[in-house]
Amino acid sequence: MKSILIIGMGKFGQHLCNKLLELDNEIMIIDQSEEQIRDYFTEVTSARIGDCTNPDVLQALGLSNFDVVVVAIRESFQNSLEITNLAKEFGAKYVISAANRDIQAKFLLKNGADEVVYPDRDAAYKLAAKCSANHVFDYIELDGEYSIYEIPVLPAWVGKSIREIDARARYAINIIGIASEGELNIMPSPDDRFKTGDHVRLISDKEAAERLFKELDRGV
């Protein structure tokens, strides 16, 4: 559980808040519009109405008390930049800011952001990867080289254990989860066996993933 402040409750902020609550975090939200946060008053730890471009409003939040401060403002880059800079100045430990373009990310990183996310781009890239491959149920890009994929179990793996298929040596992948009959087993044992219909979550680079996709195409 972490203590997280979300500044800006537009669509991105709301989706983020919903997921963070689902993961049982302590959440404080703030937005200058009461309408944006009204539905969350009874859901989050604290909710406030205020304009965080006002230094007095931002400083009064006690930013150093939060593990993460998310500047989720998408409508005004100027406001996002000012708030990011002030948040760091007022003691925020780790600031994550949203950007729409690379040039925005550069300015945010130079002015207090520890990390920048691209909500629209990331969602588009994830969807593109799923649409482009026949066998990808889910996809998360970790960096420019490695990603997490969820794929169906290869027919050749059915009845065998992770140890027996020798995934790391033979396929250059790391298996981090097995979804079976609606249940997800995170960090499975090397002796866990695959069944028909299982989904496998794995970390691999693009080349290794494409080799697996080709084997799935062939029904290997």
Q: Which CATH number fits the domain that encloses residue 26?
A: 3.40.50.720
Q: What is the pTM of this model?
A: 0.68
> Would you state the pLDDT for residue 198?
94
Looking at the structure, tell me whether residues 197 and 95 fall in a common domain. no
Looking at the structure, tell me whether residues 138 and 85 fall in a common domain. no
Domain boundary, last residue among 117, 151, 171: 117
> Would you state the pLDDT for residue 129?
67
> Would you state the pLDDT for residue 58?
96
Looking at the structure, tell me whether residues 8 and 90 fall in a common domain. yes
Looking at the structure, tell me whether residues 77 and 167 fall in a common domain. no
Looking at the structure, tell me whether residues 147 and 57 fall in a common domain. no
Looking at the structure, tell me whether residues 168 and 126 fall in a common domain. yes
Looking at the structure, tell me whether residues 108 and 129 fall in a common domain. no
Full strand arrangement of the beta sheet holding 115-117: 46-49, 26-31, 3-7, 68-71, 95-98, 115-117
Domain boundary, last residue among 84, 117, 150: 117
For residue 4, give the amino acid letter.
I
| Burial status of residue 147 (CB atoms within 10 A of its CB: 0-12, 13-18, 19 or more) | buried
Residue spans of the chain under pLDDT 70? 129-134, 144, 220
Rounded CA-CA distance 106/47 in Å is 30
Judge whether 30 and 95 are in contact, CB under 8 Å.
no
Number of domains in the chain: 2
> Would you state the pLDDT for residue 220?
55
Looking at the structure, tell me whether residues 98 and 43 fall in a common domain. yes
Q: What is the pLDDT of residues 93-105, one digit of tens each?
A: 999 999 999 999 9
209: domain CATH number? 3.30.70.1450
Domain boundary, last residue among 69, 86, 117: 117
Range of the domain at 154: 122-218
> Would you state the pLDDT for residue 51?
96
Looking at the structure, tell me whether residues 67 and 155 fall in a common domain. no
